Structure formats: structure tokens, C-alpha cells
Structure 1
Amino acid sequence: MDISVVVPLFNEVESLPELTSWISRVMLENRFTYEIILVDDGSHDGSWDMILKLQQSNPFIRGIKFRRNYGKSAALNVGFAATKGRVVITMDADLQDSPDEIPQLYRRITEDNYDLISGWKAKRYDPITKTIPTKLFNAATRRMSGIKNLHDFNCGLKAYRSAVVKNIEVYGEMHRYIPVIAKWAGFTKIGEQIVEHRARKYGKTKFGMSRFVNGFLDLLSIFFVGKFGKRPMHFFGSFGVLSFFTGLIIAIWMICEKLYSIAHNQHYRDITTQPLFYIALVAIIVGSQMFLTGFVAELVSRSSHDRNHYQVEETI
């Protein structure tokens, strides 16, 4: 099979007939073999009934229904597991992504040998309250992830080589960082394509301003897990040892200074009356706690079932 199109949706009953018809038309015009996987993330507006109705007229449509709303990341993760196509395309169900982009995305994966192509909505039809935070969010993500060539990490329209979606896990609200997750998994050929952004035709957006706060916290999580997930002692231990010995050196210096003053009959202050003593004490305690945290995290990591799970691209 050439293409699997994964569409996560939540209360998008009005847009589904037009979206699936549009996708099917593009596939037939380009003679692609395909499947459309609609993942209903706990909708309560009749979206699942519409999926069942559409499937009767289009056998290439498959549906997955959640009992409740779990979020876009969960919908994508389950959809990825169900795909059979050589190339996987993701898009939102609100008709703001154009299926006409699919042939070019497919070509760049199959002919240009990219692992992942992320869409970039260079011209957006969103209010300024959404576009400015989005730009700041993308700038921070570029800096922390090292993926300098992407302008829009959160664009729903993306194309993947099948091996990518089968070897990554998307959870929580990590769908915003799939390119980052893919990079940490060893898929480094990541490109970008300018895509059309269409004004919303039905319904309203399902995401509020809180996503920017949550998104930043998720970015920190991905950065830490990706870099230190299999060696947490390198993170906690390094800062712990640095903090502990900084406090220890300060304490030793203060003791030596007092002993020197006593030996030379000079005036001296009690160590416990000096603010520096408490700084040294806090540094020693924090350092010890961080080191112990790293030690416990290392034990947990070594007990994990996937402690020796690595991405193998090819064997001969």
C-alpha cells in the first residue's frame, strides 16, 4: 500500500464527508493505493455514526473510536500503530489542511528519501493572539531541539516514512514535538514543505491558550528524556557532585580561615553567624539529594523493560 492517511478528530462531524471525499479524489487522480484511518477521540456530536456511514460507501476508510477523549497524541499513536502504508500522512479533520498537498509530500519521502516532512503554514488565517505565541513557541523549540530548518513544529499536515511512526511513541501532548521525538529516535532526515492553510469552515478550535504552557513543559520533558533517559545519573550526578563540592569547599575554607585567625590571635566571627555558612550547607544538602536522585533514577532505568531497546535501521 502506498499511503496511509491518519486523521485524529474530535467533534468534526460536519467536515468528515467533504474531507474523505477530497482525500479519495486526490488518491484516485494520482493512482495511489491508500487507506484513511479516522481516529474518533471520544466525540459526542455523531462523528462516529458519520464514520460508519462513510465506510459503507468507501471501503478504504477505517475507523477507530475511543471511549472518551484522550487527546490528539493518543489518537495519533493508535493511528500510527494501525497503518499499513509505505508513507503515512497526518492531517487535521477541520479542513484547514489541504489533501492536494499529499502527492508532493509522498514524492519527497519516496524520491528524496526524507524520514519526515513537516508542513509549514507560512500564511496563516489565525488571530494575532495565536500567531505570535506560535512563533515564540517554534523559536524556542528550534533552539532546544537543534532542528533549525523547521518553522512550524505543530503543523498537523506531515508525512512520514513508515519506519518512523512504527518506532516512536506519542503520548501526553507530545504531538507538537513529533519531529523532535523522531530525531531522538535516530531519524535525522527531516525536511519542510510550505503548505496551504485554509480558514476553518465548520465548528471551532479545540485548543486554548493553555497549550503554550503545556507545550513548553512537554518540550523540557522531551529534551531531558531524549538526552538523559538511559543515563539519568549523568544529569543529576553531575549537578549533584558540583553542588556538593562547591558547598564543601566553602565550608572547608571558612573552617581554615577561623583556625588561622585563632592561631594568630586575630578577631574572628563564628562560622554559624555568617550567611556563607548557610549557603554552603544548602549546597551540600542539595548536592547530596541530587546525587541520590540520580542514583535512584539509574536503578529505575536499569530495571526498565526497554533499557536495551535501540533503533536498528538495517542488518545484513
Structure 2
Amino acid sequence: MNLSVVIPLLNEEESLNELYRWIASVMHSNGFLYEVIFIDDGSTDKSWDIIEKLSAENSEVKGIRFQKNYGKSQALHAGFAMAKGDVIITMDADLQDNPEEIPALYKMITEENYDLVSGWKKKRYDSLLSKNMPSKLFNYAARKTSGVKLHDFNCGLKAYKKDVVKTIEVTGEMHRYIPVLAKNAGFTKISEKPVLHQARKYGTTKFGAERFVRGFLDLITIWFLSRFGKRPMHLFGAWGAFMFFVSFCFAIFLGIDKLFINPYGRLIADRTEFYIALTAMVLGTQLFLAGFLGELILRNKKDSRNYIIKEQRNFPD
């Protein structure tokens, strides 16, 4: 199979039929063997009814329905696990991503041998304050901290080699930073392609102020994971050793002062330096314990799937 198109969605009943017809037209005109995987992330409208109808009428349409809303990252995780294509395309269901871009993205993966190609919405039709400016801030911060030189990390339209999506783990709210996850996993041939961005035709954006905050928290998380995710003791152990060193220095100072300089002065327990040394020792111990716990958790890590699939359509048992 040439292509798997993975589409996470939440309450997009008005756009699904039009989106599928558009994708099918592009696929047929290019002679692709394909599948379209819709992941209903707990919609409360008629989105799943439409997916059921599409899957009954078209064998290439497959559907996954979550028990409740778990988030876009979990939806992508489920879609990636089920995808069978040699190239996987992700796109949003709101008709703002243009399916006409798919053939060019496919060629960049298969002919130019990129591991991942991210869309770049050079001209956006989002509200300046609600999404456009926050996206620019996210992208600037992500470039500086990750070293991945993309203009638009958050574009839903992306193309991947199959090996990439089967290797990376998209959890939490990390869908924004999939290129960084791919780079950290060793897939370094990453590029971008300017793509057409459509104005939203139906419904309203799911972007809110809370996503702005979560995005920056996720960026801090992925910076930490990229540097210390496989070796947490390197961070916590280093800081723990530093705190022990501080404690040791103050203890030596207090000992020398009490024995040789001022033996009849204040009690050691009455001095500020004693409490600094004690606090540094306690902090050093806690940091070492955090490092050990991180190493234990890492070595006992199991399946990170944290969602429940309620129903599926057109997948083999």
C-alpha cells in the first residue's frame, strides 16, 4: 500500500464527507493505493455516524472511535499503530489542510528520501491573536531549543516514512513536536514544504488559551527528554553531587573554625552555615534519589498507550 492518511478529529461532522471526497479524488487521479484512517477523539456530534457510513460504503475508509476525548496526540498514536502504508500522511479534518499537497509530499519521502516532511503554512487564515501569534512564538522557541529548523511545527499536514511513525511515541500533548521526537529517535532527514492553508469552512477552532500554556510546558518537557530522557541520573546526579560538594565545603569550614580559629565561640548548631550545609545535604540526597527513580522507571517502562478504543471499522480482528 502506498499511502495511509491519518486524520484525528473532534466534532467535525460538517466537513467529513467533503474531506473524504477530496482525498479520494486526489488519490484516484494519482493512482495511489491508499487507506484513510479517521480517529474520532470523543466527538459529541454525528462525526462517528458519518465515519461508519463512509467505512460501510468504501473499504479504504477505516475508523477508530475513542471512549472519550483523550487529545490529538493519543489519536495520532492510535492511527500510527494501525497504519499500513509505506508513507503516512497526517492532516486535520477541518478542511484547512489541502489534500492536493499529498502527491508532492509523497514524492519528497519516496524520491528525495526524507524521513519526515512538515507542511509550512506561509500564509495563514487563522485569527492573529488566537492562533497566529502563539504559533509564531511556539515555532521560534522550538527551533531554538531543539535545533530542528522548521518554520511551522504545529502544521497538521505532514508526511512520514513508515519507520518513523512505528518508532516514535506520541503521548501527552507532544503532537506539536513530532519532528523533534523523530530527530531524537535518529531520523535526521527532516524537511519542510510550503503548503496552502484554507480558511476554516465549518465549525470553530479548538485552540484555546490553555493550549498556549500547555504548548510551552510541553516544550520544556521535550527539551528535558531530548537531553536527559535516556539518562536522568546525568542531570539529577550532577546536581546532587554539586549539593553534596556545597555541604562538604561548609562542614569543613565549620570544623576548622571550631577546632582551630574560634573554639570557644558559638555552637555550630547556632550558626547559619550549619543550616546551609544541612539543607544542601538533604537536597543532594533527594536529587540522587530522583535520578535513581528515573532510571528505574525508564528500565521498567511498558506500553505507553493511555486511551481506550470504543469501536473500530474496517480493521481486521
TM-score relative to the length of structure 2: 0.89
Sort the Cα spacing of 1:137 and 1:275 in 2 relative to 1 into closer, same or farther, 3 A: farther
In 1: Cα distance, 2:173 partner to 2:98 partner: 24
Sort the Cα spacing of 1:132 and 1:271 in 2 relative to 1 into closer, same or farther, 3 A: farther
| 1:174 to partner: Cα distance | 1.2
Determine the structure 1 residue equivalent to 2:137: 136
Sort the Cα spacing of 1:67 and 1:305 in 2 relative to 1 into closer, same or farther, 3 A: closer
Q: Structure 1 counterpart of 2:292, which letter?
A: F
In 2: Cα distance, 1:161 partner to 1:53 partner: 30
Determine the structure 1 residue equivalent to 2:156: 156
Q: Which runs of 5+ in 1 are unaligned?
A: 307-316
Determine the structure 2 residue equivalent to 1:209: 209
Q: Which SS does the other structure have where 1:166 is aligned?
A: helix
Q: Which runs of 5+ in 2 are unaligned?
A: 304-317
In 2: Cα distance, 1:302 partner to 1:63 partner: 34
| 1:240 to partner: Cα distance | 0.4
Q: Which SS does the other structure have where 1:206 is aligned?
A: coil
Instruction: Output one character per residue of 1:220-267: Cα deviation in whole Å (capped at 9) or x when no partner.
Output: 32333343333221111111011111222123123323434237x9xx
Determine the structure 1 residue equivalent to 2:53: 53
| 1:272 to partner: Cα distance | 4.5
Determine the structure 2 residue equivalent to 1:110: 110
In 1: Cα distance, 2:124 partner to 2:272 partner: 55
Determine the structure 2 residue equivalent to 1:262: 262
Sort the Cα spacing of 1:275 and 1:135 in 2 relative to 1 into closer, same or farther, 3 A: farther
Instruction: Output one character per residue of 1:247-292: Cα deviation in whole Å (capped at 9) or x when no partner.
Output: 22123123323434237x9xx6654454444333222211111012
Determine the structure 1 residue equivalent to 2:283: 286
| 1:305 to partner: Cα distance | 5.4
Higher RCO (C-alpha under 8 Å, 6+ residues apart): 2
| 1:182 to partner: Cα distance | 1.0
In 2: Cα distance, 1:134 partner to 1:162 partner: 27
Determine the structure 2 residue equivalent to 1:311: none
- Dislocated runs of 4+, deviation >4 Å: 268-274
Instruction: Output one character per residue of 1:177-210: Cα deviation in whole Å (capped at 9) or x when no partner.
Output: 1111111111111111111111111001112111
Task: Return 191-200 or 209-218, whichever deviates more.
Answer: 209-218
Q: Which SS does the other structure have where 2:262 is aligned?
A: helix
Task: Return 244-253 or 100-109, whichever deviates more.
Answer: 244-253
Sort the Cα spacing of 1:76 and 1:279 in 2 relative to 1 into closer, same or farther, 3 A: same
Of 299, 302, 309, the match for 1:302:
299
Give the CA RMSD over aligned residues. Answer: 1.9
Identity of aligned residues (%): 60
Determine the structure 2 residue equivalent to 1:196: 196
Q: Structure 2 counterpart of 1:171, which letter?
A: T
In 2: Cα distance, 1:87 partner to 1:154 partner: 20
Q: Structure 2 counterpart of 1:279, which letter?
A: I
Matches within 5 A, 1:84-103: 84-103=84-103
Instruction: Output one character per residue of 1:84-136: Cα deviation in whole Å (capped at 9) or x when no partner.
Output: 11110000000010001101100100011000011111111122222222212
In 2: Cα distance, 1:111 partner to 1:121 partner: 23
Q: Structure 1 counterpart of 2:296, which letter?
A: L
Determine the structure 1 residue equivalent to 2:314: none
| 1:300 to partner: Cα distance | 3.2
